[in-house]
Amino acid sequence: MTGEISIAGVYVPALLLLALLALILTGFVTRLLALLSAYRFVAYRPLVDITLFVFLLGLLVLLSAPYGPPTP
């Protein structure tokens, strides 16, 4: 994962873009879970939603990391 991404000459932190993508994916997954009535097995829905966001953000950061040994 690089530190910054240039969008039309404006440097934006890569983590901010990944967090926005994770927020969008969390919205889709929560709607899917609500459609499937999976939230009835959960005691506290907001905690599950935050945990889902953190999990998806971590997964996106992991997948965006470069592979291979670090370059000197």
The pTM of this model reads 0.83
pLDDT band at 5 (very low <50, low <70, confident <90, very high): confident
With helix as H, strand as E and coil as C, how does 21-41 read?
HHHHHHHHHHHHHHHCCHHHH
Q: Which residues pair with 10 in a beta bridge?
A: 7
Interval 10-63: pLDDT, tens? 999 989 999 999 999 999 999 999 999 999 999 999 999 999 999 999 999 999
The single residue listed with the structure tokens 């999976």 is 38
